Every structure is written in structure tokens, then in C-alpha cells.
Structure 1
Amino acid sequence: MDRLIYTAATGARHILEQQATTSNNLANATTTGFRAQLDSFRAVPVVAEGLPTRTFVVDNTVGSDFRAGTMQTTGRPLDVALRGDGFIAVQSTDGSEAYTRNGSLKVNANGMLQTSAGLTLVGENGPIAVPPDTEVAIAADGTVSAIDTTQTKPGPSNVLGRIKLVNPDVKGLVRGDDGLFRNQSGLPADPDQNVRLADGTLEGSNVNPIDAMVNMIALARSFETQMSLLKNAEANATKATQILALN
């Protein structure tokens, strides 16, 4: 009897956890550059004397879906999207180097080039500062240039720096609670000269809302099945107690 309870109770618990993951994916269906999180179930036997047939159900996070999202043309000079594989390096709130596909950029009040979430971009020679009264242009290789807009005739463009573009092995990346990716080794990735940007474009989320909704319904039905198994176990235990009482 307890074998059924072990499996059903742990299965129900981790179905709820996977439901939370699916809900998070669905909530980020319109988030720029978002990568869907992937989960799967696996069975883990209980290693203990007298319990060789008991099994726990575990929700195993297998990683993220790194398929490309849809490209959306915006025409905004500070919007960039990665062509193919690669990431943009940013400085996270704890000071470490992290990676994102969100190319919606802005210039803050101090003139620093940042993401729309307020994270400073990592340049190959340090943070990139944008002078006031300039028009910014970002080349395909990540080079950031500025043209003075105070002059009657546009002058030559000044190179401000180059965004650090990386392409680490996705198998070695881990997603943090802030949604950013980092190397599992903790070491910063090397710049990759083959990573290219498309200006005036943003990459959308790769979450399919329809698939996410279908998955949520399937998980809800699976949870109901686990609850039915627990109710059956309780009914069987009650009937067994009644039989023993009669004896």
C-alpha cells in the first residue's frame, strides 16, 4: 500500500513544480529573447533496507530550449537581435558576467549603454559610455559608434567600443533566478568574432503559447490522476481496517 502512496504523493508534488515552470514560460511568451525552460520526470528508487520496491518521482530540470525566436523589425537604432547562435554579455547585479539574448538597449542617465532591464553591457574593453547629444549606431560585429548631432553637417562617427558577443557551449550554461545565463564553470566566456547582430530588430520569445496551454492542461489531468490514486489507497486502507476489526 505504501508503494502506491510513495509514487502518487511525490508525483503530485512534482507535477505542481512543473506546472509552475510551464506557467513561467507562458508568462514570458512576449518577453524579448526569452528561452523556454524544459523539465522532465524521472523515477528514483528509495535506497534503504526493507524498501527496495519504493520509488520517488522527481522533476528533473533538463535545461532550456535554445531554439531561435521570431524576429521583429522595430527600426529603433538601439534594438539589436543576434543572428543565429550567440549571446550578449552583460554585468549582472552581483557584478558577475552573464549572458542574454535580449537586445533591447538604452542609454541611462549616466550615459552607460544598458539593457532595457538596467544591466550594463560588457564591452571588450570595459563598459561602453555614450556622450550626450549623439546618435548611436551599432554594427553587425557589435561595434558601437556615435555621431555628433549638434553640428549642422554630420561629422565623422566616433567608435565608442565593441559589445562583447560570445557563443559558449549551451550544455555548459545554467540559468539563474534572474533569467540570465552563466557558465557553469563560473569563468567568463571568450569573445566570438563570428557572432553577428541585426540592428533595428528584436528577437521574440521562443515559447509557443498553444503548446504551453496544452501542457498545462495535461499536467492538471495528471495531478487529478495522482489524487485519485491517493483516494483509492485511503479507501483500501479503510476497508482493510474494517475487515481486521471484524476478525
Structure 2
Amino acid sequence: MDRLVYTAMTGAKHILEQQATNSHNLANATTTGFRAQLDSFRAVPVVGADIPTRAFVVDATVGTDFSVGSMQMTGRELDVAIQGKGWLAVEKPDGSEAYTRAGSLKLSENGVLQTLSGLNIVGDGGPITVPPDVSVTIAKDGTISTVPVTGNLNSVQVIGRLKLVNPPEENLVRGDDGLFKTKDNSVPDADAAVTVAGGTLEGSNVNVVDSMVTMINLGRQFEMQMRLLQNAENNETKATQIIALS
């Protein structure tokens, strides 16, 4: 009897966790460069001499869907989208390097190129500073050029280059801040094969329709687990009555 309780109880618990993950994905369906989170589960036997046939469900892995999202033209000079595989390197507050696909950039009060959340963009030689009164162009290879908006309009100056990397996806893990980092804390070198598209942003790779269908299916699965628990309770009640009669 209790074998059914173990399975149904832990199954219901992890269905709720899956529902939370799915809701998180849906909430980020319009977040630039977002990568959907994936959950997978497996059955594990309960360790003990007297309970070798009991099992419960555990979260096997928390993975990531690395498929590319849709491209959206914005025309904004500080918007970039990674084409195909690859990542944009940013500097976290603790000085470590992290990676993102969100290419909506801005300039700080001091002209430093940053993400919208205020993290410095990593260039070939560190943070990239843009002088005032210039228009910015980001080339396909990540090279950043400026042209004065007044004076000599033909004076093109290269001020830096985005650090574009492409570490193995199996070596990437999502942090609590939504940024990715390498599992072994290594710092990958810039990859010349990674290219960007200027004036474009990559949307989230979350499929809203699939996520809504998944939410409905998870709700039905949770109801099924609850019915199993009710059946186990009813069976226990009937068994107790039979024992009492005998």
C-alpha cells in the first residue's frame, strides 16, 4: 500500500515543480534572448533493509533549451543579435565573466557599453567606452565603430570589439541571475566564427502554445496523482475494516 503512496506523493510534488518551471518559461516568453528551462525526472529506490521495493521521484537534471529564438528587427544602433550559436560576454559585479544572448545594450553615464541591467560588456581589452557625440555601428564580427555626428562625418574610428564566445553547451549552467557561466569556471576564448546582426534582437525561444499545452497536461497529471493517493487511502480503510472483522 505504501509503495503507491511513495510514488504518488513524490510524483505530485515534482509535477508542481514542473508547473513552476513552465510558468517561469511562460513569464519570459517576451524576454530578449531567454532560453527555456527544462526539467527531467527519474525514479529512485528508497534505501533501507525493510523497504527495498519502495521508490520515489527525484529531479534528475535541470537543463536548458539552447535552440535559437526568432529575430526581431529594431533599427536601434546598440541592439545586436547573435546569429546561430554563440554568446555575448559580460562582466558580473564580482569581476567574473558570464554569458548572455540578450543584446539590447546601452551606454552608462560615463559612456561604458553595458547591458540593460547595468553589466559591462566585455571587449578585447576590457570594458568598451564610447566617446560622446558619435553614432555607433556594430559590424558582423562584433567590431564597434564610431562616426562623429558633427564635424568630419567621414572620420571612422574603431573603438573595440565585442567578445563573442561559443563554449560547449554541455559545459554551460544557468545562474540565479539568468546569466550563463561555465561549469568548470573556465573562461573561453573569443570565437571568430560567432557573428552578430546589428539593429536586431533575438526573442525568447519559448513556444507559448507548447507551454500552455504543457500546463494543461501537468494539471491533469497532478489530478491523477491526487486520485491515486485517495485510492490508497480508501484501500487502507477497507483493509482495516476487514482486519477488524476477522
Q: If the length of structure 1 is used for normalisation, what is the TM-score?
A: 0.96
- Unaligned residue ranges in structure 1 (runs of 5+): none
Which amino acid is the alignment partner of residue 102 of structure 1? A
Match of 1:162 in 2: 161
Match of 1:13 in 2: 13
Match of 2:227 in 1: 228
Per the TM alignment, residue 93 of structure 1 is displaced from its structure 2 partner at its CA by 3.2
3-state SS of 2:98 partner: strand
Cα distance in 2 between the residues matched to 1:203 and 1:197: 10
Matched ranges for 1:68-87 at <5 A = 68-87=68-87
Per the TM alignment, residue 121 of structure 1 is displaced from its structure 2 partner at its CA by 0.5
Per the TM alignment, residue 63 of structure 1 is displaced from its structure 2 partner at its CA by 1.5
Cα distance in 2 between the residues matched to 1:46 and 1:62: 22
Cα distance in 2 between the residues matched to 1:95 and 1:228: 51
Which amino acid is the alignment partner of residue 245 of structure 1? A
Match of 1:36 in 2: 36
Matched, 1:116 2:132: no
> 1:18–1:59: 8 Å Cα contact kept in structure 2?
no
- Unaligned residue ranges in structure 2 (runs of 5+): none
Match of 1:241 in 2: 240
3-state SS of 1:122 partner: strand
User: Aligned-pair RMSD on alpha carbons?
Assistant: 1.2
3-state SS of 1:227 partner: helix
Paired positions, count: 246
Which amino acid is the alignment partner of residue 156 of structure 1? S
Per the TM alignment, residue 118 of structure 1 is displaced from its structure 2 partner at its CA by 1.6
Match of 2:208 in 1: 209
Which amino acid is the alignment partner of residue 36 of structure 1? A
Please give the per-residue CA displacement for 1:189-220, whole angstroms capped at 9, x wherever unaligned.
11101111110111111110000000011111
Per the TM alignment, residue 244 of structure 1 is displaced from its structure 2 partner at its CA by 2.4
3-state SS of 2:127 partner: coil
Which amino acid is the alignment partner of residue 206 of structure 1? N
Cα distance in 2 between the residues matched to 1:15 and 1:168: 32
